[in-house]
């Protein structure tokens, strides 16, 4: 598992603030991690913390302000066009809303093999055969290839999207809230398929969800994001078993934290304007909601540091003896 397929470093992306206000939002700030072959890295955090922006940066669907995304040592972001096309085959994405990610005017078979056509691979006949093979692989019927996406349920559409993600034989697949919209029983079936495919093909996954319950069940390692930054990262066992960041503890239900929207209204005098949404560079972004904050948290930003071997967190309480979680 030490065989690194992807190395992300210093990834940063700002957007102009929405809603007419001036300034910018750092949607992703200085994010770095590595992904090992055959590993599932979970990415968890509340809505708006930058998970989808990070996935689009990783796939080079969006230009980063700074940072690198190396696949087998080649920077995907700055690679020349031909090289980029080749790297693009190796990393694929499955989105939350499968139906809208499929082209409604194309048959399922054509949807699945469209990436082949765009890459100039195979004849029309090859592509049909491939569509049929992949449909069977994801638990649908080969003859479904001539039907249209709207004829399928949400879970079936997600299987079709997974088939399309597999068509170019990628090594890495990013699942961006891919099972979040599915009913519990369907979700379990699609998750099983996703894990079976990983076993079968030795795939590496980045599995994004706002739901730590799902992440906890299927991931080897977990990265917790808060307002654009990774605040804790480590093995699923370490992050869920001995969480080091108060935000991770909150996500695990161990400590209550205020709802940012409600808090913004209640504490308007205390937290000016958008202070919760636009963190100060020289303070911990989580401090306004943190039940454990102290003076230093409002004056300095904690960096990721070792909480235990291969388990990092960005919190001043780390190893301070104040959190009652001795290593």
Q: Which does 239 bind (CB under 5 to 8 A by kind): Mg ion, ligand ADP, none?
A: none
What's the burial of 73, exposed, middle or buried (CB within 10 Å: 0-12/13-18/19+)?
exposed
Among 12, 30, 37, 48, which residue interacts with ligand ADP (rule: CB under 6 A)? 48
Q: Is 27 in the site for ligand ADP (CB under 6 A)?
A: yes
CA distance 254 to 247: 10
Q: Which does 209 bind (CB under 5 to 8 A by kind): ligand ADP, Mg ion, none?
A: none
Q: Is 142 in the site for ligand ADP (CB under 6 A)?
A: no
Rg over CA atoms, the chain: 21
Q: Is 52 in the site for Mg ion (CB under 5 A)?
A: yes
The answer to whether residues 96 and 88 touch, using CB atoms and an 8 Å cutoff, is no
For Mg ion, the nearest residue by Cβ is 52
CA distance 320 to 327: 11
Among 5, 8, 25, 203, which residue interacts with ligand ADP (rule: CB under 6 A)? 25
Instruction: Considering only the stretches 48-56, 72-80, 156-164, 294-302, report the one whose residues sit in contact with ligand ADP under the rule CB under 6 A.
Output: 48-56
Q: Which does 18 bind (CB under 5 to 8 A by kind): Mg ion, ligand ADP, none?
A: ligand ADP
CA distance 155 to 98: 9
CA distance 324 to 148: 56
Instruction: Considering only the stretches 49-57, 105-113, 130-138, 194-202, report the one whose residues sit in contact with ligand ADP under the rule CB under 6 A.
Output: 49-57
Q: Which does 15 bind (CB under 5 to 8 A by kind): Mg ion, ligand ADP, none?
A: ligand ADP
Is 52 or 107 the residue whose CB approaches Mg ion more closely?
52
Q: Which structure tokens are listed for 259?
A: 């709802």
Q: Is 105 in the site for ligand ADP (CB under 6 A)?
A: no
CB atoms < 10 A from the CB of 104, how many?
Answer: 10
Tell me the number of residues near ligand ADP by CB under 6 A.
12
Is 26 or 51 the residue whose CB approaches Mg ion more closely?
51
Q: Taking the mean position of all CA atoms in its chain, how far away is CA 299?
A: 30
Q: Is 50 in the site for ligand ADP (CB under 6 A)?
A: yes
* Among 247, 244, 245, 248, CA closest to 216: 248
Among 1, 3, 18, 82, which residue interacts with ligand ADP (rule: CB under 6 A)? 18
The answer to whether residues 276 and 260 touch, using CB atoms and an 8 Å cutoff, is yes
Helix (H) or strand (E) holding 82: helix 81-90
Is 56 or 128 the residue whose CB approaches ligand ADP more closely?
56
Helix (H) or strand (E) holding 233: strand 229-235
CA distance 31 to 56: 13
Instruction: Considering only the stretches 44-52, 126-134, 241-249, 251-259, report the one whose residues sit in contact with Mg ion under the rule CB under 5 A.
Output: 44-52
Residues in contact with Mg ion by CB under 5 A are: 51-52
Residues in contact with ligand ADP by CB under 6 A are: 15, 18, 25, 27, 45, 47-53
């Amino acid at each position: 598992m030490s065989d690194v397929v992807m190395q992300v470093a210093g990834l940063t992306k700002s957007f102009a603030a929405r809603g007419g206000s001036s300034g910018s939002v750092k949607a992703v700030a200085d994010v770095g991690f590595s992904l090992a072959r055959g590993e599932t890295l979970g990415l968890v955090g509340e809505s708006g913390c930058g998970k989808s922006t990070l996935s689009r940066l990783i796939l080079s669907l969006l230009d980063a302000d700074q940072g690198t995304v190396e696949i087998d040592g080649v920077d995907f972001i700055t690679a020349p066009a031909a090289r980029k096309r080749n790297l693009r085959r190796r990393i694929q994405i499955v989105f939350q809303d499968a139906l809208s990610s499929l082209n409604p005017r194309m048959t399922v078979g054509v949807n699945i093999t469209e990436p082949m056509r765009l890459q100039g691979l195979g004849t029309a006949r090859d592509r049909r055969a491939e569509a049929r093979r992949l449909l069977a692989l994801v638990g649908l019927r080969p003859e479904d290839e001539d039907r249209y996406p709207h004829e399928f349920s949400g879970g079936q559409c997600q299987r079709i999207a997974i088939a399309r993600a597999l068509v170019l034989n990628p090594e890495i697949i990013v699942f961006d809230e891919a099972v979040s919209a599915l009913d519990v029983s369907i979700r379990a079936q699609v998750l099983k398929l996703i894990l079976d495919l990983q076993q079968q093909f030795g795939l590496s996954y980045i599995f994004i969800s706002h739901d730590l319950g799902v992440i906890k069940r299927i991931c080897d390692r977990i990265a917790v994001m808060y307002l654009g930054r990774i605040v804790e990262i480590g093995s699923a066992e370490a992050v869920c078993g001995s969480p080091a960041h108060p935000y991770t503890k909150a996500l695990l239900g161990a400590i209550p934290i205020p709802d940012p929207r409600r808090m913004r209204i209640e504490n308007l005098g205390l937290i000016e304007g958008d202070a919760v949404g636009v963190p100060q560079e020289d303070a911990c972004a989580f401090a306004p909601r943190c039940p454990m904050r102290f003076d230093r948290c409002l004056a300095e930003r904690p960096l990721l540091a070792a909480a235990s071997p291969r388990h990092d967190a960005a919190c001043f309480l780390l190893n301070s003896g104040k959190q009652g979680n001795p290593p």
